[in-house]
Chain A
Amino acid sequence: MNKDEVLVTLKNIINTTFDINYDVVESTSAEDIDEWDSISHIELITKMEEHFGVRFALGELQDLQNVGDMATLVIEKAA
C-alpha cells in the first residue's frame, strides 16, 4: 500500500471510531477532533493494528503528532 491508500483507510477508521464524518488529511491531529481524546486514542490505535495486521511498540507510538505520522508508521511496519 502506498501512503495515499493508507490515508484513505485511516480516514475511514478514524471516522468510524469516533462516529464522525471529518475530512481527515495528513495534518489532522487530536486537536482537530473533539471526540479524539486520551481514551479514544487507545481504541483508535487498537483498530489500526487490527485492520493493518501490525503491532506497534510503545516507542513507535509515543511521538505520533498527526495522521500523516500514523500513515508513515503503518507503511514502515507493513513493509
Chain B
Amino acid sequence: MYINSLIQNRLFESSAKIFDPKGTIIKHDVLASDYKKIRNYISSLPDNAGVGVMLPKDHRYLLTMLACMEAGVFYVPMRDSYPQNRIDQIKEESDFTFSMTEDSYKEILTSNEVEFTQKNINQDSVLYKICTSGSTGRPKAVVVQRLAIENFWKWVNTKFDNCTHEDHLLQVTEFTFDISLIDVALFLGKGMNLYFSEFKGNIFSLAYEIEKYEISTLNTVVNNMNMLLDDKVVSRANYSTLHTVMMGGARFSYGLYKKCKEHFSNIGVHNLYGVTEVPVYSHCKTMNFDQTDLHEFTVSVGSPLGACTSVIAKDGKILDQGEKGEVLMGGGSLMKEYAKNPEKTKDVFTSINDERFYRSGDIGFQNSNGDFFVTGRMDDTIKYRGYRIDLLDVDSYILSRNYIQDAVTIAIEDEETQNKTICFAITKKELTEKEMKKDLSEVLLEYQIPERIHFVSSYPTNNSGKVCKKTLKKDYIEGKRFYK
C-alpha cells in the first residue's frame, strides 16, 4: 500500500504545492477537495472498470491518475488532442470504460460527492495500461501492475535524497509517456513544488521556464536536453538553479555527454535507460564526468536500479563481463503482459536459470565495474558487403567528431551490397560529403563509413521526441525532404 500512503500523505496530511500552467499556486484545500470528489467518483465505478484520461497536462490530469491509483481502478493515459480513431483503437486494446475529459471532470466536481469505496487491491492489481505505437502502427497496451511502480517509486525517493520540499520541479513530459512518473514520485514523496511546463516545441520557452520558476530538478528526454544545451540556447539561458537533471527515452550520445560535462559538471546528471515494459526505467548511471562513464564513445547506462536485475545473454546463456549480447531485464519491475496478446507477451519474455527476463532487443555489454553499455539494437545490426555492422555503434563514432551536432545512420536494402548505409548528419560547420568521409576514416574502418552522407537540419521525431527511423527511411526512399 506504499502508493496509497504516499498519495494520502501528500494530499491530506502534508502540503501539496502545485502550480497551474501560468505559474499560480493552486490552494491546497481546493486541491484536496477536488481530489476527494474525483477519487470517490472513480471508486464508485464498477469492478473491472478503467479510466481513459483525456485531459490537458495540468493538475487535473495528475489528480485523476492519483485517484485511480488510490481507488484501485486502472487508468489509460492519453492526450486530449488524440484523434477519435486513435482513442477507439486504444479503447479496444485496453478496455477502459470511462472517459475522463474536461467536461466529465467538471461535471464530477459540480455534482454531489459520493462515498469512497475502496476496491480490493494487491500488488498484482493493474495500475495502468499504457499504449505504445506498435510496429504495425496499431497501439499495443502494456499492462503494468502496482508492484512495478511501487518498486520504482521507492527507488526514486531513495536515489534522489538530495531533493526536498523546497525544490522546484518542472513537469515537462506528457503523462502519456511513463517517464513522467518520476516527477509524480518526487512530488508525492518529497513534496516538491510542481510546475507544469507549457513547452510545445519552442525550446526557448522551456529554457525560459527553468529560469522563471527557478527549477532545481528536471526530468526530460535526451532530445530536449540536447537542445537546451545547444550553444544558441545555452548562451542566453540561466540554468544556475538546477541541481538534478535526469534524462532518458533515447540514447545519451557522446556529444550530449560533452555538453553536460561543460555545463553541468557540478550538478547531478543521471542517464536513465529502460523500456515501457520494465517501468519506468531499469538502469541508471550518475555521471562522474571521468573515464568511468565511457567505453570509447559510448556513454554508460549504469547498473540495474531498485528491484530490477539485468544480464547480457546470447542463445539462452548469460554472458561474461565484456561479452556482447542482448540486454535482458528481470526482477520485480516487469510488466504483467501485453493486453489481449498472449503470443506477443510470450515472445518478449525468456527464462534463464528459472528467472524471468524481458528481452529488450538492445545489444550491449557489462564492463568489469558492473556498468552496462548499450551499443545498438538487434534490428540495427546489418550485413554490409559481408561485414556485420552495428549502426548505433557507427553513430557513436560519428558523434565523437567536434563538427557533428547529431547523426543518424540507417540502412536501405540493396541488391549489390545487401544494405546501403546512409548517414543523416546535422553539422556545426559547412563541409562536403567527401571531407566528412575522409575525416571519418580516422575513427571508422572503410566498410563502416556510411556510403552516403546527407546534411540535414532536423529529423522526423515521434511523440516522445525520439528520432523516428522508420519515417526517415520511408521519406528517404520516397525522395521527400532531408536534403540541403
Task: Please determine whether A45 and B426 come into contact, CB atoms closer than 8 angstroms.
Answer: no
The closest CB in chain A to the CB of B224 belongs to: A38
Does B458 lie within 8 Å of A37, measured CB to CB?
yes
**Would A34 and B481 be within 8 Å (CB), given that A42-B227, A45-B204, A58-B207 are in contact?**
yes
Contact: A58 with B211, CB < 8 Å?
A: yes
Which residue in B227, B483, B484 is a CB contact (below 8 Å) of A38?
A: B227
B426 contacts A42, C-beta separation under 8 Å: no
Of B56-64, B231-239, B299-307, B409-417, the one touching chain A: B231-239
The reply on A15 being an interface residue by CB < 8 A is no
Interface size for chain B: under 10, 10 to 19, 20 to 34, or 35 or more residues?
20 to 34
Q: How far is the CB of A44 from chain B (nearest CB, A)?
A: 9
Q: How far is the CB of A75 from chain B (nearest CB, A)?
A: 19
Number of interface residues of A (CB under 8 A): 23
Q: How far is the CA of A61 from the CA of B238 in the complex (A)?
A: 14
Specify the chain A residue showing the minimal Cβ separation from B203: A38
Residues of A contacting B204 in the complex (Cβ-Cβ under 8 angstroms): 41, 45, 58, 61-62
Name which of B224, B233, B484 has the most chain A CB atoms within 10 A of its CB: B233
Question: Do B202 and A61 have beta carbons less than 8 Å apart?
Answer: yes
**A residues within 8 A CB of B236?**
56-58
Residues from chain A with a CB closer than 8 A to the CB of B207 are 58, 62
Q: Verify B208–A61 contact, CB threshold 8 A.
A: yes
In contact, A30 and B481 (Cβ under 8 angstroms): no
- The total of Cβ contacts below 8 Å across the A-B interface reads 63
* Contact of B265 with A by CB under 8 A: no
Residues in B41-58 with C-beta less than 8 Å from chain A: none
Which of A37, A46, A57, A62 interacts with B232 by CB under 8 Å? A46
Interchain CA distance A18-B482 in the complex, whole Å: 9
- For residues 218 through 233 of chain B, which have their beta carbon under 8 Å from a beta carbon of chain A? 223-224, 227, 230, 232-233
Looking at the assembled complex, report how far the CB atom of A14 sits from the nearest CB atom of chain B, in whole angstroms: 12
CB within 8 Å for A62 and B205 given contacts A39-B426, A42-B230: yes
**A23 on interface, CB distance cutoff 8 Å:** no
Residue of A nearest to B459 (CB): A39
Contacts of A41 in B (CB 8 A): 201-204
Nearest neighbor of A20 in chain B, beta-carbon distance:
B481
Q: Which of A19, A46, A62 has the most CB of B within 10 A?
A: A62
Task: Provide the residues of chain A in CB contact with B459, threshold 8 Å.
Answer: 39
Smallest beta-carbon distance A52→chain B, Å: 15
Give the 8 A-B residue pairs with the shortest CB-CB distance, closest first.
A61-B204, A62-B208, A62-B205, A39-B458, A40-B458, A38-B201, A58-B236, A58-B208
Could you give 23 example pairs across A and B, Cβ below 8 Å? A19-B481, A30-B201, A35-B481, A37-B201, A38-B224, A38-B227, A39-B227, A39-B426, A41-B202, A41-B204, A42-B227, A42-B230, A42-B232, A45-B204, A56-B236, A57-B236, A58-B207, A58-B208, A58-B236, A58-B238, A61-B204, A61-B205, A62-B209
